């Protein structure tokens, strides 16, 4: 029964991934990360992505702080944060987030405060969506691993009830 669950979970994961690729939320770089994961580094993708989340949230807070300063918006500093955000987003394959950063940076280069505000809101939105979907992906993956493990209990040993 639980083995059947593992297969369904895998199919769900694949559909979710396909959707994210189709939407352009993720690109081929994410696939590259998955290929770097193996038995010697079984949590590689989630480790890198969690670092990305941590760094991104700091950058988003900084960007918001810079824009909310009505007296003087340090556009140059915004550009520097955006370069970082762009770089790390492209490193994990977060294509849509990266694209919004590009537009945001263009607005900051023109010192266009209104444009930057709009871009920031869009960026927060895209980031939020990405984070939710990736969390979902990792949760399903965890469940799938558990389900697959229970399906094949060790043969000669008594099964310990959890």
Partner 1 sequence: MGSDCSSVVAEELHVLAVDDSLVDRKVIERLLKISSCKVTAVESGRRALQYLGLDGEKSSVGFDGLKVNLIMTDYSMPGMTGYELLKKIKSSSNLREIPVVIMSSEKVLARIDRCLEEGAQEFLVKPVNLSDVKRLRDIILQGYENDEDKGYQKRKLQDLSPTSSLARDLTPLKSASASASAQQSCLKRPRL
The footprint of partner 1 (CB under 8 A) covers: 29, 32-33, 35-36, 41, 44, 47-48, 51-52, 55, 80, 83-84, 86-88, 90-93, 99
Shortest distance in whole angstroms from residue 51 CB to partner 1:
5
Q: Say how far apart CA 147 and CA 50 lie, in whole Å.
A: 24
Q: Quick one: tokens of 93? A: 């394959």
Shortest distance in whole angstroms from residue 152 CB to partner 1:
28
Shortest distance in whole angstroms from residue 102 CB to partner 1:
8
Apex CA 123: angle with CA 128 and CA 100, to 5°? 130
Q: Is the dihedral of CA 113, 126, 22, 35 positive or negative?
A: positive
Q: Which is nearer to partner 1, 39 or 71 (CB)?
A: 39
Q: Which is nearer to partner 1, 31 or 68 (CB)?
A: 31
Shortest distance in whole angstroms from residue 100 CB to partner 1:
13
The DSSP result for 6-51, as a single string, is HHHHHHHHHHHHHHHHHTTSB-HHHHHHHHT-BTTBTTHHHHHHHH
Q: Which is nearer to partner 1, 15 or 58 (CB)?
A: 58
Provide the β-strand partners of residue 41. Answer: 38
Q: Which is nearer to partner 1, 62 or 99 (CB)?
A: 99
């Amino acid at each position: 029964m639980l083995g059947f669950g593992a297969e369904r979970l895998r199919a769900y994961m694949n559909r979710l991934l396909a959707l994210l690729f189709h939407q352009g939320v993720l690109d081929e770089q994410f696939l590259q990360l998955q290929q770097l994961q193996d038995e010697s580094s079984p949590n590689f993708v989630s480790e890198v992505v969690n670092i990305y989340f941590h760094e991104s949230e700091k950058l988003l807070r900084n960007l918001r702080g810079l824009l909310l300063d009505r007296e003087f918006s340090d556009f140059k500093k915004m550009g520097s944060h955006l370069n970082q955000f762009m770089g790390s987003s492209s490193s994990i394959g977060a294509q849509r987030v990266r694209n919004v950063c590009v537009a945001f940076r263009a607005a900051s280069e023109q010192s266009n405060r209104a444009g930057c505000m709009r871009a920031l809101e869009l960026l927060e939105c895209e980031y939020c969506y990405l984070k939710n979907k990736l969390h979902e992906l990792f949760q399903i993956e965890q469940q799938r691993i558990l389900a697959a493990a229970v399906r094949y209990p060790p043969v000669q040993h008594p099964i310990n009830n959890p």
